[in-house]
């Protein structure tokens, strides 16, 4: 969802979205995250620098909501196709993440503190792949 445009005379321009710097500024030469990955809503740390690898994969994520609403809405329409992700191979690499109930063979990743999400996706058929959408998180 795009933020409403503000009049430049009345307020300063809004800050760029988390992924606006481009993936090149977020990825080191080895393809790992240079910066910590944070929840956009509460700022809770999701991943430490170097904990994930940049990956491109087209996935449909439901619209951002609290955990219970995200699981309920996952079967319905409405969502975003996201293409740039942090790929995490070990669930214990996360500093802070929660999971929705199973939606088919998928669990959605949410912030464990404020339950905002989904910030990512995990297919139960592939136990070693957790995808965190770059556009759904902040970086510091």
Q: Say how many CA atoms lie within 13 Å of 117 toward its Cβ.
A: 32
Domain membership of residue 15 (yes or no) is no
Q: pTM of this prediction?
A: 0.76
- Whether residue 76 is contained in a domain is answered as yes
Helix (H, G, I), strand (E, B) or coil at 69: helix
d(CA 130, CA 136): 14
- Whether 44 is covered by a domain: the verdict is yes
pLDDT tens for 90-138 read 999 999 999 999 999 999 999 999 999 999 999 999 999 999 999 999 9
How many other C-beta atoms lie within 10 A of the C-beta of residue 31?
11
**Are 84 and 54 spatial neighbours (Cβ–Cβ below 8 Å)?**
yes
Q: Is 58 contained in some domain?
A: yes
- Whether residue 51 lies inside any domain: the answer is yes
Q: Dump pLDDT digits (tens) for 22-74.
A: 677 899 999 999 999 999 999 999 999 999 999 999 999 999 876 555 555 55
CA 61 to chain centre: 9
How many domains does the chain contain in total? 1
State the CATH number of the domain containing residue 127.
2.170.150.10
The answer to whether residue 14 scores a pLDDT higher than 50 is no
């Amino acid at each position: 969802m795009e933020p409403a445009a503000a009049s430049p005379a009345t307020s300063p321009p809004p800050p760029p979205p988390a992924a606006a710097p481009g993936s090149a500024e977020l990825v080191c030469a080895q393809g790992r995250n240079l910066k910590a990955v944070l929840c956009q809503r509460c700022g809770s740390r999701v991943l430490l620098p170097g904990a994930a690898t940049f990956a491109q994969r087209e996935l449909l994520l439901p619209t951002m909501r609290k955990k219970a609403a995200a699981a309920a809405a996952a079967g319905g329409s409405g969502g975003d196709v996201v293409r740039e992700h942090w790929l995490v191979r070990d669930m214990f690499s996360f500093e802070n993440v929660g999971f929705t109930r199973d939606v088919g063979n998928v669990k959605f990743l949410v912030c464990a503190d404020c339950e905002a999400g989904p910030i990512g996706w995990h297919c139960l058929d592939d136990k070693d792949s957790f995808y965190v959408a770059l556009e759904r998180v902040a970086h510091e």
